Structures are given as C-alpha cells and as structure tokens.
C-alpha cells in the first residue's frame, strides 16, 4: 500500500546541468486520479522547497528530473579566490554547490477527495526518502542528499555517469580525494601535465572536499602542500597550508582537527596557487623555477598539523620567462564543464579595437531662448552668450564605448586544440592583460584556426575574437 521500489537513483555527487533522475514504483497506481508526489528539500531546508506532482508514465512508473530546480542554487561565484587581491588561501563554495534530498509519496482520490499519502501507506506529507546509488549513510556521514556541482558534462559522459548505476560515484570517483597514499583525487581541471605560468600569474585549483566511506570518521582535505624548487631541482621551501575556516576553507575550525561536521559550504573549495597569489601571501621565493601543489589528509583521528597521506594528484607549475614576448600576454581563465577553472596564456598576438557608437540629434543653429540669437561682438564676454558658439548642428547622446580584441596562440598540438576548444563553449570567460591583478569579463565572438604541416605533423594556430562584457557610458551633451 505504498511506494514499492526505487528503480533508478542518481549518484551522491552530480551535475546541475545534466539530468538528476529517480524512477520509483507504487502499488497504488490504479487508484482514481493517482499522482506521484515529490518534495524537494534544497540545502538542508526543514520544509520542502518544491513540491512536484507527477502522473505515472505509460508503464506506471514515477520518473522525475530535478536538475532544473537545482541550477538556480549553483551560481558560479569563483572570482574572489582567484585574484591576487583576495586575502585568503582558500575560498569556499558559498552559493556554488547545492544539496537536495527528495521524499516521495502519492496522491489519489479517497471518497471523492484528493488525499496525499506519505509513501508508506499513511496519510500525510511525502516521507519516503529516495536514496542515492551510494546508499543512505556513508561512513560517519548521516547524509541522504545529492551534492550538486556547477558542472555540465558532455552528453555521452553524462549518459555514462547515469548508466553506471552500480558503480561507486561513477565519473566523479577520480575527482574525490582518497584515503591512503594513492594521491589519485584530481583537481577540477581539464588541463593535464605541467602548467606553464608567468611569475605574475593568478591561478586557482578547485577540488571536492569531502571523503566518504571511512568507518571511523569522514573529513575534508587536511592541508595543501606547496614545494618550491630552483632550476637545479633543489628544494627551496615547503609550506603546509592548513584547510581551516579562518583560511577561507573548512569545515574544520582548527588545524589539529579530529572529527568534522558535514557542511555544504565546504563541499567544493578553491585554492589560490598562482605565483602572484603566493607572493601576495608572503611565501613566494624569487628563485623558484617550478613548484608543486598537492592535497593531504589524515587516516586517524589523532590531532596533528603534520601532513598525513597524499590524497590528490601532484600538480606542477613551471615558471615561463616573459622577456621575449612581443605582445603583452593575455591570460584567459574560463569556467570548465567540471565546475572548476582552466587557463591559458596567449602571447603571439594581441590587437585591441575600440568602438564607440552613439546617437545624434539636430540642434537649431540659433539661440531663440536668450537675448542674442548669435554671439554679439561687444558682448562676447557676457556669461549669457559666451558659449553660444557651441550651439547647432549634430549633437551626441547615448554614446557607449565597447572594447574588443583579438588574441592568437602559438602553434598547437591537436590535444591542445581540443583543450582550448572549451573556451568558446564556456559561459564564463575572463582575461588578464599584461600583469593585471584583476581580470575583466569577456564574451567570445569568433574562433578560427590556421593549419600547418611540419614534417608530417599537423600544427594548429588558434585566433580568438573577444569583447569586454563591461561597457563605458559617456556623457550626453
């Protein structure tokens, strides 16, 4: 007399811009005016945020996709943690990550009156909690919510994630920090290999910050370790940046933490790690030729600030000499399909164009409202007619200045072309020109490619046309 089965469920980590679907069955579908009822509790709300009523499909199942309801709760606000003016190492997910818990029930007519049932046979609000693939409880985390990231995977990847219904976290497994010294949790970036940066570049790495499945306790990343080396490979310094609320991260409040409280605001963190960021934080060594960034966690509940085991991939940043550049470098930062950011420095070409369209109106040449219609020689110094020579002709108003520019890459491999192709697809792109500390928002207007064969190796050169999103309004006269 109730919800009889959950036929399909999403994974506990999921993407806001791909389907997040459940399929359930009820043994009451033959009742008059039957509908499935789904209550959505967003971000830990005590009362339902949305109530959905769904007719059963032709086979009697209740199938819903809640992704569109979660998208407004995953605003991408990644600006501050990346720039050199942001004062902290970490930035939390604020409004970027949402959680949703879904409870199901039924509605049908009883003696002519529509009545809602709780999913277990009794009247009342839906109370049948829909699970995730990973189950109701993971380790010490008593959390039944789906964690929704500001991500939008390509169609086939998204289908593969949904279809891997019995696989732990499917696609996101490789991005979740791991217990033990495997160091296989990837940062939310599509760029692979060493990352080239100038010594005045800003950079931020995004990462998932909750590790489920430990029998004793669950946790976020304990700290991120930065090691700086000179050109001979000699270690210059090691900094352990504790992941605490005071450092912008969390959810732990002290460095020597033991157990933690699950917190949505800390599920996705950003760590600023560009040379300019490290200089701002006072830990940059001018002799650094390259440096590494890696996350660590702890395997026991012992209080300590000492790194435990590597829990993320090791990312290497190589310093590039900017002295030979003919054009100011343009560093492009874009929101990728994982919900993190990717970067590329354009140095081959930069050409800026300014466009200032406006409207005009025709003003009478003579002043009909004063004592003199034209300047009178004997009174040319009079304040009432001193500026009458300005009257008449075409007058400008509603003038707006728009700046655009073109940038060009060096010759690229096909892998690099594929990587940079995401710039044109990203809904949020900004650029740093020269050694700017604060980026500017841009819109991509055109992307073109030039192909060349060198010893039977295909090389590609990409050109991007961009327009600054912020316009400048000029005075009306």
Most confident of 30-44, 126-140, 247-261, 395-409: 30-44
Q: Quick check: 356 and 474 in contact, CB under 8 A?
A: yes
Q: How much of the chain exceeds pLDDT 70, in percent?
A: 84
Residue 289 reports pLDDT greater than 90: yes
pLDDT score recorded for residue 432: 92
| Per-residue pLDDT band at 216 (split at 50, 70, 90) | very low
Q: Quick check: 287 and 236 in contact, CB under 8 A?
A: yes
Strands, DSSP E only, in 18-163?
21-26, 35-42, 50-54, 62-65, 90-91, 98-110, 113-117, 128-129, 146-149
Most confident of 237-246, 392-401, 404-413: 237-246
Dmax over Cα atoms in the chain, in whole Å? 103
| Per-residue pLDDT band at 402 (split at 50, 70, 90) | confident
Tell me which residue of 110, 89, 43 sits closest to 203, measured CA to CA: 89
Q: Quick check: 267 and 93 in contact, CB under 8 A?
A: yes
Average pLDDT over residues 223-249: 94
| Per-residue pLDDT band at 142 (split at 50, 70, 90) | low
Read off the tokens for 451: 């192909």
* CA atoms within 13 A of residue 158's CA, in its CB half-sphere: 16
The DSSP result for 256-310, as a single string, is: S--S----GGGSEEEEE-SHHHHHHTT---TT-SEEEEEEEE-SS----SS--EE
What's the alpha-carbon Rg for the chain, to the nearest Å?
Answer: 29
Q: Quick check: 209 and 269 in contact, CB under 8 A?
A: yes
Averaged pLDDT score across all residues of the chain: 84
Average pLDDT over residues 291-314: 82
| Per-residue pLDDT band at 440 (split at 50, 70, 90) | confident
pLDDT score recorded for residue 102: 96
Average pLDDT over residues 14-18: 94
Q: Which residues contact 382 (CB under 8 A, 6 or more apart)?
A: none
Please classify residue 91 by burial: count the beta carbons closer than 10 Å to its beta carbon, then call 0-12 exposed, 13-18 middle and 19+ buried: buried
* Nearest-angstrom CA–CA distance, 18 and 37: 22
Residue 324 reports pLDDT greater than 90: no
| Per-residue pLDDT band at 217 (split at 50, 70, 90) | very low
Average pLDDT over residues 91-117: 92
Residue 367 reports pLDDT greater than 80: no
Q: Quick check: 187 and 203 in contact, CB under 8 A?
A: no
| Per-residue pLDDT band at 202 (split at 50, 70, 90) | very high
pLDDT score recorded for residue 51: 97
Beta strands 146-149 and 13-15: pairing type? parallel
Read off the tokens for 417: 């072309």
> Beta-carbon neighbour count of residue 192 at 10 Å?
11
Tell me which residue of 213, 220, 182 sits closest to 298, measured CA to CA: 220
pLDDT score recorded for residue 377: 62
* Nearest-angstrom CA–CA distance, 246 and 253: 7
359 forms beta bridges with: 397
SS3 112: coil
Length of the chain, please?
477
pLDDT score recorded for residue 215: 45
Output the pTM of the full model: 0.87
Query: In the chain, count of helices (H) and strands (E)?
Result: 5, 29
């Amino acid at each position: 007399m109730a919800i009889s089965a959950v036929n399909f469920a999403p994974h506990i980590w999921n993407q806001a811009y791909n389907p997040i679907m459940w399929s359930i069955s009820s043994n009451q579908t033959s009742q008059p005016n039957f509908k499935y009822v789904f209550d959505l509790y967003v971000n830990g709300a005590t009362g339902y945020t949305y109530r959905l009523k769904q007719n059963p499909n032709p086979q009697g199942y209740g199938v819903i996709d809640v992704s569109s309801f979660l998208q407004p709760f995953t605003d991408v606000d990644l600006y501050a943690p990346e720039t050199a003016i942001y004062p902290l190492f970490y930035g939390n997910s604020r409004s970027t990550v949402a959680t949703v818990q879904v409870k199901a029930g039924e509605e049908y007519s009883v003696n002519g009156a529509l009545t809602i049932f709780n999913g277990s046979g009794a009247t009342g609000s839906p109370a049948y909690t829909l699970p995730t693939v990973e189950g109701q409880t993971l380790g010490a985390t008593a959390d039944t919510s789906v964690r929704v990231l500001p991500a939008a995977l390509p169609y086939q990847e998204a289908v593969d994630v949904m279809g891997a219904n019995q696989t732990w976290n499917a696609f996101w497994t490789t991005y979740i920090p791991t217990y033990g010294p495997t160091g296989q949790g990837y940062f939310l970036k599509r760029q692979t290999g060493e990352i080239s940066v100038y010594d005045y570049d800003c950079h931020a790495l995004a990462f998932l910050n909750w590790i489920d499945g430990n029998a004793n306790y669950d946790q976020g990343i304990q700290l991120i370790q930065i090691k700086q080396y000179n050109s001979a490979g000699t270690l210059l310094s090691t900094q352990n940046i504790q992941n605490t609320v005071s450092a912008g991260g969390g959810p732990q409040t002290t460095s020597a933490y033991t157990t933690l409280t699950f917190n949505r605001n800390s599920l996705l963190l950003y760590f600023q790690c560009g040379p300019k960021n490290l200089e701002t934080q006072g830990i940059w060594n001018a002799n650094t030729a390259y440096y590494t960034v890696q996350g660590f966690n702890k395997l026991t509940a012992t209080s300590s600030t000492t790194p435990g085991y590597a829990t993320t991939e090791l990312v290497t940043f190589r310093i590039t000499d900017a002295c030979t550049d003919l054009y100011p470098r343009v560093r492009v930062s874009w929101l990728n399909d994982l919900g993190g950011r990717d970067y590329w420095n354009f140095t081959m070409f930069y050409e800026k164009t300014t466009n200032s369209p406006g409207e005009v109106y025709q003003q009478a040449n003579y002043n009909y409202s004063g004592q003199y219609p034209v300047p009178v020689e004997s009174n040319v110094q009079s304040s009432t007619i001193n500026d009458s020579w300005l009257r008449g002709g075409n007058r400008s108003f509603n003038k707006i200045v728009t700046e655009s520019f073109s940038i060009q890459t060096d010759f690229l491999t096909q892998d690099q072309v594929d990587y940079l192709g995401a710039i044109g697809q990203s809904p949020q792109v900004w650029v740093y020109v020269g050694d700017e500390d604060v980026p500017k928002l841009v819109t991509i207007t055109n992307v073109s490619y030039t192909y060349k064969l060198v010893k039977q190796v295909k090389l590609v050169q990409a050109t991007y046309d961009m327009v600054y999103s912020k316009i400048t309004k000029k005075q009306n006269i």
